[in-house]
Amino acid sequence: MTKVSIRKLNKVYSGNVAAVRDLDLEMADGKITALLGPSGCGKTTTLKMIAGLLEPTAGDILFDGESVVTISAEKRHAVMVFQNHLLFPHMNVGENVGFGLRMAGMPKAQRRKKIAQILELVQLGGYEARRPSQLSGGQRQRVALARALVVDPRVLLLDEPLSNLDAHLRDEMRALILRVQARTNVTTIVVTHDQEEAVILAHEVALMFAGQVAQIGEPKVFYDRPKTEKVARFFGGTNFIAGKLENEGFLTEIGHFALDQIRSDIIPQALTIRPENLTFATDQSTNIIPVTVTDKLFAGTFTRYQFAAKDGTPIQMTTAASDADRFNIGEHTTLYVAPSKCWLV
């Protein structure tokens, strides 16, 4: 297990284009950390610098407190699995997986034993003689994962590992990555643009925008306690109601909202309420929102309603599939949100 620390890391390309800017990160040993963000935010550049495939413009990368920036990629023991599997087409599965062991000079008998063990771990036992062209996309990704794990890396780096897979294969591969990581306890850093993937895979998520970390924490924090409106929107937040603090709550054009917690680290500009945290009001007298139905969408396992508050503020609600026929467009109703589900940004 290896703790990875990043200190004031920068990467500036020609033309003074800053891909990563003064990045500070701590990634716990034996855990999965996700670098999450939109395309071009610097997450893959960061991963490549950790792997030693890119040289930082400034800053430091430490494994267990020791700098590795002057150590070559092949001696750093940080192995990267790319989204394109990069398997050798002329080699069979066993040869692909054992390539690193052969380069390290491991005896053939010992090599075969280790290859068989790691293929069992990724559920490809008995596939040693097959060629990459005889495998499905999910199987090729498993071979790439096995090839990385067989050399006992200090750090496993996964670059968009599921992006080329169909939906059902993504589910299988997620489960496999979690199972393998739990068995090996290898420190794992995964790059993804998919917030659902980051939440499912990672013990901790670092959300990046424009080469910097906007927020880092356990996945649940991004839903319940986003630092900014931009963070909230990235994680599916759609309801933002402008207002100001008043009378130990938040006063808006559509009403006064009681809060469980008032942030002291910001001057709040808006109240955010996640769509799934709204309910239809019954006998509540506080934190209610009179609305008119403007649109609705039945999505199989849930129903999404779009409302307009009295001042025109759009409000979105996600509710049970059985609520699809509860209201028609143009009808009026009242929504409720618990004080514990109100958050200021």
DSSP structure string for 131-177? -GGGS-HHHHHHHHHHHHHTT--SEEEEESTTTTS-HHHHHHHHHHH
Task: Tell me how far apart the alpha carbons of residues 128 and 23 are, in angstroms, rounded to a whole number.
Answer: 41
Residue tagged 């009179």 (tokens): 290
pLDDT tens profile 280-290: 999 888 999 99
What's the pLDDT score for residue 188?
98
Confirm if 278 and 315 have CB atoms less than 8 A apart: yes
Task: Please choose, from the candidates 45, 42, 7, the residue with its C-alpha nearest in 3D space to the C-alpha of residue 25.
Answer: 7
Superfamily of domain 4-223: P-loop containing nucleotide triphosphate hydrolases (3.40.50.300)
Q: What is the pTM of this model?
A: 0.92
Q: Residue-wise pLDDT tens for the chain (345 aa)?
A: 899 999 999 999 987 889 999 999 999 999 999 999 999 999 999 999 999 999 999 999 999 999 999 999 999 999 999 888 789 999 999 999 999 999 889 999 999 999 999 999 999 999 999 999 999 988 999 999 999 999 999 999 999 988 878 888 889 899 999 999 999 999 999 999 999 999 999 999 999 999 999 999 999 999 999 999 999 999 998 999 999 999 889 999 999 999 998 888 899 999 999 999 999 999 888 999 999 999 999 999 999 999 999 999 999 999 999 999 999 999 999 999 999 999 999
At how many degrees (to 10) do helices 137-149 and 108-121 cross? 130
Q: How do beta strands 32-36 and 239-246 pair?
A: unpaired
- Between CA 11 and CA 304 the distance in angstroms is 42
Res 162: pLDDT? 87
Query: What class is the 237-344 domain?
Result: mainly beta
Predicted pLDDT of residue 15: 79
Q: Parallel, antiparallel, or unpaired for β 314-320 and 4-13?
A: unpaired
Domain residue extents for the chain: 4-223, 237-344
